[in-house]
Amino acid sequence: MRDCSAMRTRSRWGFLILLMATGALVMYGCGGGSGGDGGGRPPAPDETTYAVVDLGTLGGGTSVALDLNEAGHVVGNARLASNDAHAFLEASPLQDLGTLGGGGHSSATSINDNGVMVGWSWAPGTTTRHAFIYQSGTMTDLFPNDPAQALAINGLGHVVGVRNDHAFLWDGQAAIDLGTLGGNTSQARDINDDGLIVGWSKLADGTTDHAFVYAGGAMTDIGTLGGTSSLGYGVNDAGWVVGDSQTSAGGSDWSTGHGFLYRSGTMTDMGTLGGDKSHAEDVSDEGILIGESMLADGQSWHAFLYFDGRMVDLNDLLDTGSQGWTLEQARGINGSRQIVGLGINPDGDRHAYLATPQ
């Protein structure tokens, strides 16, 4: 999720391509796009156009942007010429953040408004992922003795993720095991500045996953869209939760899973862009949801915006200078409606992008 003051940014792993191992209407209050109706109302999300910037790579073929903060600083991972993938900070050009041990893979998954980044890296001499925090030019292993991934950081510097197969919260001093919904494993995927955490957990049957919210020391199951399993990915300051769920039509089949919005105790099916499947990744404090959906051809995926109950293909909003791009994934959105993710550039390369409303 992203907020407009002390932004909690975060990360994703479920559906995202990691490129390395192979209530009431929320009022407009953040910096929105320019324009409007002369009465101070920002334009609707589909009343503007987006300019796309190719963020490039670290010398290899591919990259993906996973998060950004209110200043528009972007993090993700990108291939080197060696074909290793390293965490990056977009600083014109990309800045290689390295790894915890020199060599191997890493990924930056989240950045807050103070410029503090988190993610994961292979530990020295291994292929085991360890959680890191990166600040003042130094990458530090949060849990040197444990496999872990840091997946989100909020404006207070609180970090969530997965450690030893359980969701955790690190408050800057110590780690708290958030437990599970009865099963053996769980993951925390996002945290807002009020400390509301979202993610998913195995149930007692050991096979079914359900999305959860964690607050006041308790993990609460928020259910599904009628199918068997669900996954929570993002949360905003208003407590809106987004994620994916199997539907009543698909039962336990993820090939027909849909993105959802969970708000005021109700889970809403976001639908698709014509295909069988969609994925919701993030939600801004303005109430704009992003993610990606399969198209009617059953093969192509396009990034989307979702607002006022409507899903809009982000590719339909590109300005003339950005034609030739196909934006496949949307991973993060900030209060200025900037969006980052993965797209195919006019040369046919899959690169990280930053899309900015004009």
List, for residues 202-253, the tens digit of each pLDDT value. Answer: 999 999 999 999 999 999 999 999 999 999 999 999 999 999 999 999 989 9
For 59, 102, 192, the CA distances from 85, given in Å and listed in that order, are 10, 12, 28
Region of residue 136 (phi > 0: left; psi between -120 and 50: alpha; otherwise: beta): left
What is the rounded distance in angstroms from the CA atom of residue 97 to the CA atom of residue 95? 6
Name the token pair of 240.
Answer: 């809106």
Q: Output the pLDDT for position 102.
A: 81
3-state secondary structure of 317: helix
- Residues whose CB is less than 8 angstroms from the CB of residue 309 and which lie 6 or more positions away in sequence, other chains included: none
Q: Output the pLDDT for position 93.
A: 85
- 1 pairs with which residues across the strands? none
Q: Output the pLDDT for position 22.
A: 36
Name the token pair of 22.
Answer: 């192979």
- Determine which helix (DSSP H) or strand (DSSP E) holds 202, and give its type and residue range: strand 197-203
What structural domains and CATH numbers belong to the chain?
9-53+156-357 (2.130.10)
- Residues whose CB is less than 8 angstroms from the CB of residue 123 and which lie 6 or more positions away in sequence, other chains included: 100, 101, 129, 130, 141
β-sheet with 138-141: strand ranges across? 106-111, 117-122, 129-135, 138-141
Averaged over successive runs of 10 residues, the pLDDT of the chain (358 residues) comes to 39 38 34 44 90 98 98 97 97 92 93 98 94 97 97 98 98 96 98 97 98 98 98 97 96 95 98 98 97 98 97 98 98 98 98 98
Q: Output the pLDDT for position 26.
A: 33
Q: Taking Cα atoms as reference points, which of 259, 202, 204 lies closest to residue 212? A: 202
What is the rounded distance in angstroms from the CA atom of residue 174 to the CA atom of residue 155? 17
Rounded to the nearest angstrom, the gap between the alpha carbon of residue 319 and the centroid of all alpha carbons in its chain is 24
What is the rounded distance in angstroms from the CA atom of residue 259 to the CA atom of residue 271? 7
Q: Are 10 and 190 in contact (CB under 8 A)?
A: yes
What is the rounded distance in angstroms from the CA atom of residue 85 to the CA atom of residue 350? 14
Q: Output the pLDDT for position 191.
A: 98
- Residues whose CB is less than 8 angstroms from the CB of residue 207 and which lie 6 or more positions away in sequence, other chains included: none
Q: Taking Cα atoms as reference points, which of 231, 262, 15, 300 lies closest to residue 313? A: 300
Q: Output the pLDDT for position 39.
A: 53
What is the rounded distance in angstroms from the CA atom of residue 93 to the CA atom of residue 27? 36
DSSP structural state of residue 121: E
Name the token pair of 185.
Answer: 């494993």
Q: Are 169 and 219 in contact (CB under 8 A)?
A: no
What is the rounded distance in angstroms from the CA atom of residue 45 to the CA atom of residue 357? 9
- Predicted TM-score (pTM) of the model is 0.89
DSSP H helices in 126-273: none
Q: Output the pLDDT for position 40.
A: 65
